[in-house]
Amino acid sequence: MLHILYIVHDVSDPAVRRRVKMLRTGGAEIVLAGFRRTQEPVADIEGIRPIDLGATQDGRFAQRLLAVAGAALSIRSKFGKLAEPDLVIARNLEMLALARRAKAAFGWRETPLVYECLDIHRLVLRPDVVGRAMRGAERLLARDARLLMTSSPAFVANYFQRYGQVSAPIELVENKHLELSETAPPRSAANTPPPWRIGWFGALRCRKSLELLARFTRAEKGRYEVILRGRPALSEFPDFHGFVEAEPYLTFAGPYRNPEDIAEIYGGVHFSWAIDFFEEGQNSEWLLPNRLYEGCRFGAIPITMSGTETARHVGERGIGVELPEATPAAISAALSAIDVESHGAMRTRVLAAGPGAWSYDAADCRALVARLSTLGKTPRPYPAGAGIITDSP
């Protein structure tokens, strides 16, 4: 069995839970360590008690760096009782620094290091001395990584290959829905009459999208509604909850469980908002977001922005609605000709791609762990139940 130390920037992030679930389903044993965006330590992630490295704040990069520096200084007390893992995975650049510090502190010289990078931060793309310094630090920290895991071909082409950041082999692990058991046929909104429902689910961090959807739904006077669910990045919105409550056709329905609630929430909307302007022209143009895969898996028609990797991805399959520009008029023009019958036909084309286009199953999880197992270190006996909760905290 492969034993992995997984170091992450936010143990409370649902995407971290999905990755842990994927690795464990594939047959790996996980020790999870990381920071959190919650006030109190997180007690349980998929039966694992994370090693708590402290709290960080969303959007406060300097504060995060100080927190990482503090964790590096206390690495022996935090990780001191761990047996040497077979593999260390670092989820993002700051965690790569911490992973290297742990390897050096405990003499894990032969333990392979995997760099998992699922977003390209705007700081590393700056053309000035700050950007050059960040890219230089990344090249230094990733110089002997055995594998780079990333989620979009555009990240590889536009960043890693362009700047020559990482010499390691690249493994594309898309942000697909994790489907580990037989899923009931999704409840369909295809045959319901207007108002048409647009779902914007997941990490809600794009102020431009929120304001655009508000203007669009007001202009349409109730013909369209927007349902928001997930975790709003309050650092990006002056007053997210107040703004939404003041909009007659926007509804925030709170958080949800992923993957448990995905079929229900996407089955209840006609369209999925798969657009993100958070880092416009950079990361937002290159990413393939979770909501793209989740929505398509359960028949919600993706709305994408022209010129993005998301639009290219669905355009190759002949599905979705592509906006030429980010205006209420453009949204109206793209959606106004769609009726119940044509929406049903669009939904059929989306679902015809099959679950494998949008979801990972147990076999995919085993394939990923098998790939990680080839990175150069032979798994060996490990303390039983390491990292697993066996009693109450």
Shared-domain flag, residues 24 and 41: yes
Number of folded domains that form the chain? 2
**pLDDT value, residue 378:** 52
In 3D space, the residue among 177, 176, 245, 175 whose CA is nearest the CA of residue 210 turns out to be 245
Residue 363 in tokens: 């076999």
Shared-domain flag, residues 152 and 237: no
Shared-domain flag, residues 152 and 208: no
Shared-domain flag, residues 139 and 82: yes
**pLDDT value, residue 41:** 87
Shared-domain flag, residues 341 and 223: yes
Q: Does residue 185 sit within a domain?
A: no
Backbone angles phi, psi at 225, to 5 degrees: -125, 150
Model confidence over 219-247: pLDDT tens digits?
A: 999 999 999 999 998 888 889 999 999 99
Shared-domain flag, residues 175 and 35: yes
Q: Does residue 382 sit within a domain?
A: no
Q: Does residue 288 sit within a domain?
A: yes
Q: Does residue 187 sit within a domain?
A: no
Shared-domain flag, residues 233 and 368: no
**pLDDT value, residue 293:** 97
Type of residue at 287: L
Residue 374 CA to residue 371 CA, distance in Å, equals 6
**pLDDT value, residue 164:** 86
Q: Does residue 383 sit within a domain?
A: no
Shared-domain flag, residues 102 and 209: no
pTM, entire model = 0.90
Q: Does residue 161 sit within a domain?
A: yes
Q: Does residue 345 sit within a domain?
A: yes
**pLDDT value, residue 97:** 93
Q: Does residue 385 sit within a domain?
A: no
Shared-domain flag, residues 69 and 170: yes
Model confidence over 48-71: pLDDT tens digits?
A: 999 999 888 776 767 777 888 888
Shared-domain flag, residues 215 and 298: yes
**pLDDT value, residue 73:** 86
Query: How does pLDDT run along the chain (393 residues), one tens digit per residue?
Result: 899 999 999 999 999 999 999 999 999 999 999 999 888 889 899 999 999 998 887 767 677 778 888 888 889 988 888 899 999 999 999 999 999 999 999 999 999 999 999 999 888 999 999 999 999 999 999 999 999 999 999 999 999 999 988 889 999 999 999 999 865 555 566 666 679 999 999 999 999 999 999 999 999 999 999 999 999 988 888 899 999 999 999 999 999 988 889 999 999 999 999 999 988 888 999 999 999 999 999 999 999 999 999 999 999 999 999 999 999 999 999 999 899 999 999 999 999 999 999 999 999 999 999 999 999 755 444 343 333 333 322
CATH assignment of the domain containing 78: 3.40.50.2000
Q: How far is CA 390 from CA 44, 101, 160, 384, 386, in A?
A: 11, 29, 41, 11, 10
Range of the domain at 139: 3-179+361-372
Residue 67 CA to residue 78 CA, distance in Å, equals 14
**pLDDT value, residue 70:** 85
3-state secondary structure the chain: CCEEEEEECCCCCHHHHHHHHHHHHCCCEEEEEEEECCCCCCCCECCECCEEEEECCCCCHHHHHHHHHHHHHCHHHHHCCCCCCCEEEEECHHHHHHHHHHHHHHCCCCCCEEEECCCCCHHHHCCCHHHHHHHHHHHHHCCCCCEEEECCHHHHHHHHHHHCCCCCCEEECCCCEECCCCCCCCCCCCCCCCCEEEEEEEEECCHHHHHHHHHHHHHHCCCEEEEEEEEECHHHCCCHHHHHHHCCCEEECCCCCCCCCHHHHHHCCCEEECCCCCCCCCHHHHCCCHHHHHHHHCCCEEEEECCCHHHHHHHCCCCCEEECCCCHHHHHHHHCCCCHHHHHHHHHHHHHCCHHHCEECHHHHHHHHHHHCCCCCCCCCCCCCCCECCCCC
Shared-domain flag, residues 228 and 93: no
Shared-domain flag, residues 44 and 163: yes
Residue 386 CA to residue 2 CA, distance in Å, equals 12
